[in-house]
Amino acid sequence: MLFVFILSSMFRMRFLIIVLITTISCFSQKNEIGFHFGGNNYIGEIGNTQYINPNKIQYGLIYKRNINDRLGLRAQFTKGIFIGDDLKSSSEVRRNRGYFFSNSFNSLSIGIDISYVPFTIGEFGVSWTPFLFVGIERFVFDNIYFPRNENIGYTLGKDFSVGIPFGGGIKFNFEKNWIITADIQPRFVLSDNLDGSYPDLSKQPLAEKFSTSLSSDWLVFVGISITYVFGKIPCCKD
């Protein structure tokens, strides 16, 4: 009886190991690497307050690791510039004030993608799905300030903050190893000084502070990404 029990246990263990290996293989989906580009706009104390109004370029590199056909991890490096121009504002008060600044930035983010429907890579035909994503990033930008009685922002070194990019879009697997994505990425930055409105007066005593509260600035990106898929093709579907 003991011998039969041992054989039975070994058989069950072998079966579980085979199932586990098969499951891991099925969900060891592909990697993606590529680039993204498009336009962005800033929302804060200077310039236009439209939420989607891309007017400056943004670009970078992207890497994704697909955990299964609905969930993926992403890492993204981004560079770009953004501006604030009171003369282009719909507010008469801002147009009369006439402030202007230009800022450059780079960011490194990690996050997760969640597909609305199972997204199978490498099958015959076009596979597509809407998706959502959220992440966290290190956001590095020019330290802008406005000297008193001047309406042009100046740069004094670099500063950094934490950003929370999120959003959604649609992705298409239009070829076996290629995916194109169109998305909108609002970015909530935990700083109110992307525009120089809330400077550190201990470091810039001659700067003007014109933000009434420690709110946070936003950037909104609209663009596309193209990624090449490599690695193991998923072998199972829901």
Residue 122 in this model has a pLDDT that exceeds 60: yes
Q: In the numeric block, which tokens belong to residue 4?
A: 């039969």
How high does pLDDT run on average in the chain? 84
Evaluate the CA torsion angle 188, 221, 77, 130 in order and state its sign. positive
- Mean pLDDT over 163-188 rounds to 93
What six digits make up the tokens of 65?
């690791």
User: 62 - beta bridge partners?
Assistant: 34, 76
Contact between 187 and 161 (Cβ < 8 Å)? no
Q: What is the pLDDT of residues 22-38, one digit of tens each?
A: 444 444 458 999 999 99
What is the structure's pLDDT at 21?
37
Which pair of structure tokens corresponds to residue 162?
A: 């934490």
Model pTM above 0.85? no
pLDDT at 2: 35
Q: How confident is the model at residue 206 (pLDDT cuts 50, 70, 90)?
A: confident
Q: Is the pLDDT of residue 95 over 90?
A: yes
Domain 2-230 CATH class label: mainly beta
* Residue spans per domain, the chain: 2-230
**Which three-class secondary structure state does DSSP give residue 69?**
coil
Q: How high is the pLDDT of residue 164? A: 97
| pLDDT the model gives residue 30 | 85
Question: Strand 127-145 relative to strand 100-115: parallel, antiparallel, unpaired?
Answer: antiparallel
Q: Is the pLDDT of residue 96 over 70?
A: yes
C-alpha 221/C-alpha 208 separation (Å) is 29
1 versus 7: the higher-pLDDT residue is 1
Digit-coded pLDDT (tens) for 131-148: 999 999 999 999 999 999
Q: Please give the structure tokens belonging to residue 121.
A: 């890579």
Sole residue written with tokens 């085979």: 18
β strands within 122-177, DSSP E: 127-145, 154-175
